[in-house]
Structure 1
Amino acid sequence: MKIENHEIEISNRDKVFFPKESYTKGDLIDYYEQIAETMLPHLKDRPVTMLRFPNGIDDKQFYQKDAPDYFPNWIPRKKIKKQDGGSTAYVICNSKACLVYLANQACITPHIWLSKQDKPDFPDRMIFDLDPADEDFSRVKTAARNLRKLLKEELGLPVYLMTTGSRGLHLVVPLKPEKNFDEVREFAQQLAKYLEEQHPGELTTAIRKEKRGKKLFLDVARNAFGQTTVVPYGVRPKNGAPVATPLDWEELDKPDLHSQSYTIKNIFRRLGSKTDPWKDIEKNAVSIDPAIKKFKSLTD
């Protein structure tokens, strides 16, 4: 394939990656080529960890942080120091050609940092992962509304919503990159703990699964240096090839909505009738200092 003046040698287009539906590696490559324009703003300048499945979703998988030596020179890398010494050369995927190249490397899901390459220690996202204990998605919706009430109505923060393509929902607050990961995570932990206290029968922040029971896990652990999250419009390695999909908040009222509502086969019909609900997320980034003050007065 020739994309943006780069020749990409495509291999094994017919290899089946999603056996239940017989979706192939070629289907994955075509999806990422087609979604690139919508997806790239969410990938731009963020270190990428590749989740690779050389023989499809029913076979071996591995996470790859370092860009291999054989990756072509036109794929940008960013060396980031590890906290325990050494460094990792992460792929920075800012082009359609790079996205297609990664798909050809059997990267089904690109996972991204919550910070950008120029300020890796300072996140510009605060993320809450709503992880249900069972298949009852109505409980995830209720938790999302309760969390939005706290974040937006009580603390004045902008909040964006996304199906994960897996089990739950992500709520994301766009931030100005002023605080380091420890500061942002500590605030997220305080908010999660507060919500747990407000809804003790429904929510938990317990790290150990056996302590959660049937409660929904309010996970803020991704708010840490080097941690990653699925990129918006990323494909998940599950039957049906579901896609992590940004939502408008009113879509939460749809009775048939669930975390895998959108797939590589129906996402373009959706985008043909509405724009990306996250297209302005960068423009709405805020400082969290006012929210921290409001939260203090709320809990004093």
Structure 2
Amino acid sequence: MSPEHASPKKVGVEVEGRQLTLSNLGKNLYPEFTKGEVIDYYVKIAPVLLPHLKERPATRIRYPDGVDAGSFFEKNAPGHTPGWIRTETIPTPGSSTGRDTLDFIVVDDLPTLVWCANMAALELHVPQWRVGPRGGVHSPDLMVFDLDPGAPASIVDACEVAHLLRELLAGDGLESYPKTSGKKGLHLYVPIKESDRTSEYAKEAAERLAGSHPGLVVSRMEKKLRKGKIFVDWSQNNPAKTTVAPYSLRAARSPSVSTPVTWEELERAQTPSDLTFAPDEALERVDELGDLLAPLLDERQPLP
């Protein structure tokens, strides 16, 4: 990313042959983390992030005035979206906008990622399915479980449930891969052969786990049931739902990252801080460990 010209609030850059104008780079989007630092993080993490965004319509959560000033979900591409950014028209039945389709941005390359970051899209969320080169919506090729602690339970308790769920899935011949949510929970991914049965299977698996460990696990949505337990949320496998992408920033007082982790790290974790990663730590981990979620990109397991 090379600068072309600058003004106090705007700078022109070239990113892989695309011309972008970046604005307000010194503005704090977190109390001690500027928009320029957000863009810098996304440029540096792009080699491992972009493969997880590729061909998946992105829902962006934007914080134009920073994490303390409110946010909004953006699914539709705004009118000023550059023509070179890939958009796909996707059916959205039951959408709160009242529209049957929306034009989603697909973050397939670095210029698009930088453009999104410049729009203060701190969080990038994607579905478990892909869209083809001509706009065809594929069946899911990922299954995800969101392990959400109900206070006073914490991510450390979620680690125990992650291991139990891993064993249950392994019993069905499925290998699973964890990451932090970047907030208080964990996500467990299972790469699969394309299937329309992921919601059905994930719900049944969550119910089995809750039945075996009723003092620790809950699979039903009601918040009153979650106190001190881990809610195994299977609902993000609904094709209309999304999950925060691996390596995406999360909005909090300090910038945190939804970070792939090893099973050994989950076993060793003693406090939530053991599984909290800042942007610089996420980058250091990639340098050291590579992409721990690389199997999601090419491993395909049949659902039982």
CA distance 1:267–1:257, shift in 2 (3 Å)? farther
Q: Distance in 2 between matches of 1:3 and 1:72?
A: 14
The correspondence for 2:57, drawn from 34, 41, 47, is 47
Asked if the contact 1:121–1:225 (Cα under 8 Å) also holds between the matched residues in 2, the reply is no
- Alignment match, 2:172: 155
Cα deviation for residue 86 of structure 1 reads: 2.1
Give matches, 1:77-156, under 5 Å: 77-84=87-94, 86-118=100-132, 120=137, 122-134=139-151, 136-152=154-170, 154-156=171-173
Give matches, 1:185-196, under 5 Å: 185-196=199-210
The correspondence for 1:66, drawn from 76, 87, 92, is 76
The correspondence for 1:8, drawn from 12, 20, 23, is 20
How many residues matched?
Answer: 283
Asked if residue 282 in structure 1 is aligned to residue 300 in structure 2, the reply is: no
Give matches, 1:288-299, under 5 Å: 288=303, 291=304
Counterpart secondary structure, 1:123: coil
Question: Partner amino acid for 2:157?
Answer: R
Asked if the contact 1:158–1:284 (Cα under 8 Å) also holds between the matched residues in 2, the reply is no
- Alignment match, 1:297: none
- Alignment match, 1:199: 213
Asked if the contact 1:163–1:258 (Cα under 8 Å) also holds between the matched residues in 2, the reply is no
Counterpart secondary structure, 2:55: coil
Q: Distance in 2 between matches of 1:173 and 1:257?
A: 26
Q: Distance in 2 between matches of 1:117 and 1:99?
A: 18
Structure 1 unaligned regions, length at least 5: 292-300
Structure 2 unaligned regions, length at least 5: 1-12
Percent identity over the alignment is 33
Counterpart secondary structure, 1:9: strand
- Alignment match, 1:265: 280
Give matches, 1:243-262, under 5 Å: 243-256=257-270, 258=272, 260-262=275-277
Q: What TM-score comes out, normalization by structure 1 length?
A: 0.91
Cα deviation for residue 124 of structure 1 reads: 0.8
Q: What TM-score comes out, normalization by structure 2 length?
A: 0.89
Asked if the contact 1:4–1:97 (Cα under 8 Å) also holds between the matched residues in 2, the reply is yes
Cα deviation for residue 280 of structure 1 reads: 2.6
Mean Cα deviation higher: 38-47 or 274-283: 274-283
Cα deviation for residue 254 of structure 1 reads: 2.5
Cα deviation for residue 144 of structure 1 reads: 0.4
Cα deviation for residue 120 of structure 1 reads: 2.8
Counterpart secondary structure, 2:249: coil
Q: Deviations over 1:95-129 (max 9, x none)?
A: 01110100000100010111001253511111100
Counterpart secondary structure, 2:250: coil
Q: Distance in 2 between matches of 1:285 and 1:257?
A: 34
Mean Cα deviation higher: 187-196 or 80-89: 80-89
Mean Cα deviation higher: 206-215 or 59-68: 206-215
Asked if the contact 1:164–1:245 (Cα under 8 Å) also holds between the matched residues in 2, the reply is yes
Q: Distance in 1 between matches of 2:122 and 2:270?
A: 26
Q: Deviations over 1:120-173 (max 9, x none)?
A: 351111110000012533211110000000001x11102111011011110011
Counterpart secondary structure, 1:114: coil
